[in-house]
Structures are given as structure tokens and as C-alpha cells.
Amino acid sequence: MVQIVNTSDQRGRNLILIGFMGTGKTTIGKDVAKSLGFRFVDTDELICRKAGKSVPKIFEEDGEAAFRLIETEILEEYGKMTNQVISTGGGIVTEKRNHPLLHQAGYVVWLKASPETIFDRVRRNKNRPLLQVDDPLQTIKQMLEDRTEFYDAVDDLSINTDKLTLEEIKFGIVESARVSLKLT
């Protein structure tokens, strides 16, 4: 789907990666940042640093609401900076207060994948508190269904990562970012 992209000067000069866990935001984000000469920022890493504990510990001890509050604070702070690739947590779009922050921060790319691909990529990772359930694949399907409208509301570009190589994904993001962010 083609969308009109806001390339005005009222938008930050950042590339923001959104999408469900396991879609490649961190892996791809690091490569894209190198290609653009930008700094790479991972919101989950910054949240852990600010809270002084891991994501599972934050969820366990403080709850998801506390995690989401810190996530918004991080987005507010880092969204005002420039020349960054910001890899966000998969649920950042579930807080509507984050939608204008994402738009103001820069060019937003939604990395997509099928539930089966996501499950295959994350099934061995025990640091995914929302997937520590009896049927994680069904949970992924339900969460994707619940979040799709939110991802769609904030993205400037969406890329399905299921059948693309990392190099293909990186190339597409870098070239679209160069145009949208007016990089020379």
C-alpha cells in the first residue's frame, strides 16, 4: 500500500522501526544505522537501563503499565534527538499517546512477519514475558490482530520480512529513508 509520507521539516530526522517482536527491528536497525551513518538506539535497552532491571523483571515486579510509562518517557526524550535509528518495542504503538511522538520523531517503518515466522524466530527466547503462556503461537496471532490497526496508524512504510533477506530489507529501508529524510 502506498501512503503519503510527511517529509516536512516538522518531523525529526530519525528512522523509527516499529513492529512485533521477532520481525528484525534490532538486527536490521543496527545495519541500517551503519549504512546511514546514524546512531542506533534500542528503546527496550534504554528502558532496562532506566529501570535498573530486565524487561521480564519490570513486567513481573512493576507490571506492563509501568513498562509502558517508561517506554513513553524514553520515546519523548530520544524522539527529540536526530540522526538515529530507533528500534522500538513491539507494543509501543498500543499506547495512543505514543502515536504523535512517533510521527514527530521521524520516518516510521513497520517491519511485518507472519505469526508462524515470528514464533519460529522467538520461541527459544525466555526474555519475552508476553509469550510465557501455554500456546504462544495463538498469543502471537491474537496480539498481531489486536495491534495491526495501531501499527497501520503510525507507519509511513511497511515491509513484510517473511521472504526477504536481511540485505534486501536493509536496502529497501535505507533507500526509502534517504528520500524521506532528505539525506544526500
The domains located in the chain, with CATH, are 14-180 (3.40.50.300)
pLDDT block averages, 10 residues each, the chain of length 184: 46 94 94 97 96 92 95 96 96 96 96 94 72 85 95 96 94 94 85
pTM (2 d.p.): 0.90
Cα 147-46-78 angle, rounded to 5 deg: 80
Would you state the pLDDT for residue 5?
Answer: 45
Residue 141 to residue 109: CA distance in whole angstroms: 21
Residue 87 to residue 43: CA distance in whole angstroms: 6
With contact defined as beta carbons under 8 Å apart, do 103 and 125 qualify? no
Would you state the pLDDT for residue 9?
Answer: 54
Would you state the pLDDT for residue 11?
Answer: 81
Would you state the pLDDT for residue 136?
Answer: 86
Would you state the pLDDT for residue 49?
Answer: 96
Cell of 111: 517491519
Residue 75 to residue 72: CA distance in whole angstroms: 5
58 three-class SS: helix
DSSP structural state of residue 129: G
pLDDT tens for each residue of 25-48? 999 999 999 999 999 999 999 999
CB atoms near residue 24 (< 10 Å): 22
